[in-house]
Every structure is written in structure tokens, then in C-alpha cells.
Amino acid sequence: MFLPSNKLFLLLVLLSPVAAWAQTVERSVPLQSKITGVQPMTGIVLWTTNEFKEKYADIFSLEFRYCGYNEVVDAEGKYDFSKIDEILDDVASRNHQAIIRFYFCYVGKETTVPDFIRNRPDYDETIGKSEGKKTHFCDWSNSAFQEFTISFYSKIAAKYDDDPRLAFLQTGFGLWAEYHIYDGPREIGKTFPSKEFQASFLKHMDASW
């Protein structure tokens, strides 16, 4: 095929970088840095009770633990954060960060609602079956319980919002705080919060953290 001289020149210009690349000699470039640990918030997450948390501490960065509300608030309504700090310190000792999930209901167990609420005459929990096990469900119709839940997260946020030991705080309602009651007595406004309370709770969390 015949090309006019100007087009032939253009073709040679376009091909010249390709020809230069073909003559390039490849060489290995060693890394100038060393990987000494995993990045924050990456890798598999182990429970704080996992038997391998020490042995393989250098290949993951997060540890998970469920926490009951009554681990922080006693029968008189007094707050004591020492248990949470103990957990966070233990996780941090392995150069990890913690994921903590507060829960009220757990299959086969009583609730973790503090006794100063549970012992009120106007507070009435529901006892039912979940996964074939006797399980307690909160009384979300109780205004004092609702107020406690809001207040609890105000205090937790004030203390731990900027704490580098805590990677994530998980929360929710229903079984395992997973925002559902898939098996058991599910009644909105009684065993599960009303939509009105859910809305106010989420807005409060958004404003507190």
C-alpha cells in the first residue's frame, strides 16, 4: 500500500514509542520498606476469647466482644466503666482495636437490662421460646426503660467516642442486638421498640457520636 509522505511520517512517529518500549530491559526493584504489621480495621475479626488471639496477633487487627448493659450499670443504676476499660486495655495490649456490641436479648438467656429497671413494678418482660430455648424479651412499652437506653448511649459516647482502643460500637434491638426477632414473640412496641422510639434512638445516636 502506498502512503503519501505526510501520512508515512505520522505512522513512523506513532510507531517509534512502541519500538523504544520493545528495547527496554526489565529489572527488579527491591522494596524500600518492610511490612511490620497489618493495617488498622483489616483482616479477620476474632472474638476476645479466641484461643488463637495471642499466637496469631500479628495477622489481624480487630477483636469482637458482646457486652451486656448490666456489665456497665448495676442494680442501683450506678455506672461503672471499669469492665469496658478492662476489655479495651486487653485488646490494645495486642496492638488491636475492639468491636463492642451491647445487647439486651440473647437466645436462651435472661435480658441484660439492669436490675434497677427490671425490678420496677411497671416493667414486665416477656418470656418465650427462641430456637427452642427459654428466652427473655425486653418490655419496650416501658418509658423508664426507653429513657435509660437513650441515657446509656449518651454516657457511652461521652466516654468512648474518641477512644482509639475502640474501632466500632455496634448496637441494635432484638436477638443479639441484630435488629430482629426472627424466632420468638415479636410485638412492635412491646418486645421490640416502636417505630417512633427507633427513630428517636437513631437520631440520638447520630447526634451523640
pLDDT tens digit sequence for 11-63? 444 455 555 555 677 888 777 777 677 777 777 899 999 998 898 888 889 99
pLDDT at position 12 is 45
Pairing between strand 126-130 and 133-137?
antiparallel
Mean pLDDT of 158-165: 96
Mean pLDDT (the chain) is 89
CA gap 174, 4 in Å, rounded: 79
Mean pLDDT of 92-120: 97
Instruction: Report pTM.
Output: 0.80
pLDDT at position 41 is 75
pLDDT at position 10 is 46
In angstroms, what CA-CA distances link 139 with 164, 166, 184?
Answer: 34, 30, 14
Q: Could you tell me what percent of the chain has a pLDDT over 90?
A: 75
pLDDT at position 58 is 85
pLDDT at position 118 is 97
Closest CA to 76 of 115, 118, 104: 115
Contact in structure between 149 and 205 (CB atoms under 8 Å): no
pLDDT at position 154 is 97
pLDDT at position 207 is 96
Q: What are 52's three cell numbers?
A: 488463637
